[in-house]
């Protein structure tokens, strides 16, 4: 049984033409048989199919199959996915297994959270709750913050001690949060193109917000480096620090440490892009990672379970 095949039968012809023509141009016109083209494109991609449908189209399918269509569009997509997945798997016993993962709803869309491997601090519940406030670490060395950690284990321990620290209100310069976190970790500003901690581990802040579904999502594409610096060198070993961006106190939520392997490297190649760095009229450019990288890299799974 194929859920897309069943759902397509409830769509009007103009919707099929729209789905069949996605990505087509004047040089590559849409197919003459839109239903067959839609089935071919989304045969094994129920999530992609449902994410492409409008609210009216989703409502049509729900009405035809007598499925509750109330609530937000993301809830309806999740309801239709579950119904289709159950029928394809002949029950719920296979759902949630590695070969049939469960998507979550982020921004009204269904999203599979990948698990490419990485290290994160333990948590008693998921999605991770907003941590209770904790005081920043006291100064220990001659500078304004603690001493620089001597090894990776101590760096990660220092990152765990920052969970719950409030960074304060956002500033015009988004890099100020990164500088503040580096100082709290005891990592000095070196101003060079190599990674922050001893030239081995890059420390990057990722702004996250709570989606209406209750899960954490990345608010915006984080910057990796300036255009002239090597982004791959920066991403070889990264300590991602999740900062809650829709809280005026900017609490540190968690961290995720990841090393570049073949799988992560492929994601970087897919989602790394250049664009202007700064506000309107900016002339400098930088390297950024698209938000979808964090859905597939394991970062979001470390926050949402």
> pLDDT averaged over the chain?
89
pLDDT at res. 288: 95
CB-based contacts of 181, cutoff 8 Å, min separation 6: 162, 167, 203, 205, 241, 243, 252
Work out the percent of the chain whose per-residue pLDDT is above 90.
Answer: 69
pLDDT in tens, 130-181: 999 999 988 655 555 688 999 999 999 999 999 999 999 887 776 889 999 9
pLDDT at res. 191: 62
Number of Cβ within 10 Å of residue 30's Cβ equals 16
Helix (H) or strand (E) holding 211: none
> Does residue 116 surpass a pLDDT of 80?
no
Name the least confident of 19-23, 222-226, 287-291: 19-23
> Does residue 210 surpass a pLDDT of 80?
yes
Mean pLDDT score, 18-26: 72
pLDDT at res. 91: 86
Number of Cβ within 10 Å of residue 165's Cβ equals 21
Residue among 28, 84, 32, 74 at smallest CA distance from 53: 74
Q: Measure the CA–CA gap between 205 and 171, rounded to whole angstroms.
A: 14
Domain boundaries, the chain: 3-111, 152-304
Tokens, residue 166 = 């409030």
Residue 198 burial class via C-beta count within 10 angstroms: exposed 0-12, middle 13-18, buried 19 and up: middle
Alpha helices by DSSP H, the chain: 3-8, 13-20, 34-42, 46-52, 55-64, 73-89, 152-161, 175-185, 231-235, 262-271, 292-296, 299-304
The single residue listed with the structure tokens 């964090």 is 294
> Does residue 26 surpass a pLDDT of 50?
no
> Does residue 55 surpass a pLDDT of 80?
yes
Q: Measure the CA–CA gap between 244 and 210, rounded to whole angstroms.
A: 8
pLDDT-derived band at 23, boundaries 50, 70, 90: low
Alpha helices by DSSP H, 90-211: 152-161, 175-185
φ, ψ dihedrals at 179, nearest 5°:
-65, -40
CB-based contacts of 61, cutoff 8 Å, min separation 6: 7, 10, 11, 53, 67, 80
Name the least confident of 7-11, 29-33, 68-72: 29-33
Mean pLDDT score, 188-201: 83
> Does residue 56 surpass a pLDDT of 80?
yes
CATH class of the domain at 152-304? alpha beta
């Amino acid at each position: 049984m194929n859920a897309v095949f069943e759902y397509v039968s409830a769509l009007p012809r103009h919707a099929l033409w729209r789905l069949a023509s996605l990505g087509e141009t004047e040089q590559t016109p849409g197919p003459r048989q839109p239903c067959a083209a839609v089935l071919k494109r989304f045969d094994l991609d129920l999530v992609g199919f449902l994410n492409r449908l409008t609210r009216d189209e989703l409502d049509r399918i729900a009405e035809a199959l007598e499925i509750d269509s109330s609530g937000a569009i993301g809830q309806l997509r999740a309801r239709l996915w579950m119904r289709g997945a159950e029928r394809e798997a002949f029950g719920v016993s296979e759902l949630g297994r590695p070969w049939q993962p469960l998507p979550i709803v982020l921004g009204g869309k269904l999203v599979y959270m990948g698990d490419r491997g990485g290290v994160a601090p333990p948590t008693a519940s998921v999605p991770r709750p907003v941590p209770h406030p904790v005081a920043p670490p006291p100064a220990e060395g001659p500078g304004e913050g603690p001493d620089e950690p001597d090894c990776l284990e101590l760096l990660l321990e220092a990152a765990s001690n920052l969970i719950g620290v409030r960074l304060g209100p956002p500033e015009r310069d988004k890099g100020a949060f990164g500088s503040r976190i580096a100082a709290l970790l005891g990592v000095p500003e070196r101003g060079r193109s190599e990674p922050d901690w001893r030239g081995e581990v890059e420390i990057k802040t990722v702004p996250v917000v709570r989606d209406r579904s209750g899960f954490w999502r990345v608010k915006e594409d984080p910057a990796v480096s300036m255009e002239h610096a090597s982004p791959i060198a920066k991403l070889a070993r990264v300590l991602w620090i999740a900062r809650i961006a829709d809280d005026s106190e900017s609490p540190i939520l968690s961290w995720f440490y990841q090393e570049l392997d073949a799988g992560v490297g492929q994601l970087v190649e897919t989602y790394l892009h250049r664009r202007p760095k700064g506000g309107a009229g900016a002339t400098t450019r930088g390297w950024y990672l698209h938000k979808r990288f964090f859905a597939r890299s394991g970062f979001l799974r470390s926050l949402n379970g």
